[in-house]
């Protein structure tokens, strides 16, 4: 049976992995209400992430109130990217971040700061 939601998720995950190819990916779940990360490190390969059973599992976690984050795993060499949504804060936040020594990269969809 065709599952449109699963198919859309699979396409999105494949695009994300293609944009940041790596051997392993760190998966983090952050609870919507408490904004706390669930403990532990989940390291998966691209093949594991694009497997339909894995995506169903991640979609259930998301439905249960968790945001799912996927990032390349680099042990202690994480570049420290921070995604900041500036839809409502505008230049005030951008100026504050720059004053703290963060270098901003403004894209069409997001603003990324790197220390």
My answer on whether 86 and 68 are in the same domain is no
Look at residue 77 and tell me if it is in a domain.
no
Please report the pLDDT score of residue 12 as a whole number: 86
My answer on whether 60 and 93 are in the same domain is no
Query: Residue 89 is part of which domain span?
Result: 82-114
Please report the pLDDT score of residue 45 as a whole number: 94
Structure tokens at 1: 């049976």
User: CA 93 to CA 90: how far, in whole Å?
Assistant: 6
105 DSSP β-pair partners: 112
pLDDT one-digit tens code per residue, 66-96? 888 888 888 877 655 555 555 555 566 667 7
The total domain count for the chain is: 2
pLDDT one-digit tens code per residue, 30-50? 888 888 888 877 899 999 999
């Amino acid at each position: 049976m065709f599952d449109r939601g699963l198919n859309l998720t699979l396409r999105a995950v494949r695009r994300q992995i293609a944009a940041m190819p790596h051997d392993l990916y760190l998966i983090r779940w952050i609870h919507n209400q408490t904004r706390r990360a669930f403990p532990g490190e989940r390291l998966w390969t691209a093949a594991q992430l694009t497997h339909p059973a894995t995506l169903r599992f991640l979609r259930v976690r998301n439905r249960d109130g968790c945001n799912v984050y996927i990032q390349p795993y680099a042990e202690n060499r994480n570049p420290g990217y921070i995604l900041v949504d500036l839809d409502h804060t505008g230049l005030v936040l951008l100026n504050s971040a720059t004053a703290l020594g963060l270098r901003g990269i403004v894209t069409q969809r997001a603003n990324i700061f790197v220390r």
